[in-house]
Structure 1
Amino acid sequence: MQKPAVFLDRDGILNALVFDDACGVMGPPLDVEHVVLLRDAAELVRALNERGYLVLVVTSQPALAQGRLSVMKLDLIHGRLRMLLARAGARVDGFFFCPHDPRARYVPGASVRPELVTGCRCAKPSPGLILQAAGVHRVELRRSFMLCRDLRDVRAGRSATVDTILLTKGSMTDLEAPPELRPGHVAVDASAVVHVIDSLREAMMNE
């Protein structure tokens, strides 16, 4: 039987971004010890679990193509996230990642992996990761959502035909985006996300 799911980005929704010394910008953690669960992340995931949604993480990890991260280390990072969430009674049902980066460049101390320096159908804003996760877990897309951190996530969700919720401190009128990139809904925090989903679930049940 198909089940509804909430697809979500990982970095900036579940875990905090960290400063990347090599690139001089904030980015995803590349080591287990840098994994910090964001406030309200466990509360959000637990609420989705309780409502019967699969929680599926879809994340682009170009550091794999850049040679700065291995699949083994990425698995350890995801294991750390699972453990931190489990301590709070929350569960992620699957992690799906894109390893590609068509613009990967040399970073001191790393070796670029040429086979991953390519375009692909899995990197957002393409819907490939969402569709892959949906196929593995037999997801009913019509009743599912994409929780987005940016407009690339929104486009990926819309392309996969799932409703989109943008986590942002602004309002819908603040968004400077063309119609095809506008999310279905906006939410300022975890509790607002749950409120949006509860309202939409009730509307679906009354159809």
Structure 2
Amino acid sequence: MKLIVLDRDGVINEDSDEYIKSVDEWVPIAGSMDAIARLNRGGYRVVVATNQSGISRGMFDLETLSAMHKKMHELASVAGAHIEGIFFCPHGPDDKCGCRKPKPGLFQEIQARTGFDLDGVPCVGDSLRDLQAGASMGCAPFLVKSGKGKKTFDKNKEELPAGTLVFDNLAAVAEHLVPDDPFANNR
């Protein structure tokens, strides 16, 4: 088995500058659930690492976040996909925590809980901080142009971690990592 770490907003679901604050606002990006299923069929265990500062900002609570993640798990299941774990930072940018990306805390927790050495593990994000957090633990950085990814690429191209691969969306990443998925070709 292999491991892959995905950011949530802008990679799996639509993102918003106003934050995703409710279950109704949590809408998957077209093809993202099928992409996770393809990764699973290719032998990848999928985990999510996400900053959720809307909690510390008082925009939503842990119960609402849990309901959003329940919806994500249910939609993944419908697509034949499985998300093994969700690791989130509830802190704001001024909270001085160690888990808010670009700090490595979420990735350290993933490594501790899964037992995987993260060196070379794909890390998919739409922001510079997603990739920096993963790269700090040796992950292979993948930038998607969905969500804030196109803006990240246009404005921060020179700052991307060495070896960053760039794709349009999670579906393109899954196709790259699992090119010989016969199920995907029959859909």
Partner SS for 1:34: coil
Separation (CA, whole Å) in 2 of partners of 1:188 and 1:153: 16
> 1:102-153 CA deviation, whole Å, 9 max, x = no partner?
44xxxxxxxxxxxxxx111111111110121121112232341100111111
**Structure-to-structure mapping, 1:157-196, within 5 angstroms:** 157-168=134-145, 176-178=156-158, 181-196=161-176
Structural RMSD (CA):
2.2
Q: Structure 1 vs Structure 2: percent identity of aligned residues?
A: 28
Instruction: Pick which of 180-189 and 77-86 moved more.
Output: 180-189
> Gaps (5+ residues) in structure 2?
180-187
Query: Could you say which residue in structure 2 is the equivalent of 1:97?
Result: 88
Instruction: Please list, as runs of the form range in 1=range in 2, the aligned pairs for 1:103-122 lying within 5 A after superposition.
Output: 103=94, 118-122=95-99
Please point out which of 4, 7, 10 is paired with 2:5: 7
Q: Which residue of 2 aligns with 1:17?
A: 15
In 1, Cα distance between the equivalents of 2:15 and 2:171? 21
Letter in 1 for 2:172: A
| Aligned: 1:145 with 2:122 | yes
Rg larger for? 1
| Length, aligned pairs only | 174
Alignment match, 1:67: 58
Between the aligned partners of 1:31 and 1:44, the Cα distance in structure 2 is 24
* CA apart distance, 1:188: 1.5
Matching residue of 2:49: 58
Aligned equivalents of 1:92, 1:33: Cα separation in 2: 20
Question: What is the TM-score with the length of structure 1 in the denominator?
Answer: 0.75
> Which structure would you say has the larger RCO, counting Cα contacts within 8 Å and 6 or more residues apart?
2
Normalising by structure 2, we get a TM-score of: 0.83
Shift, 1:6, TM fit: 0.9
Q: Show structure 1 runs of 5+ residues with no match.
A: 19-25, 104-117, 200-207
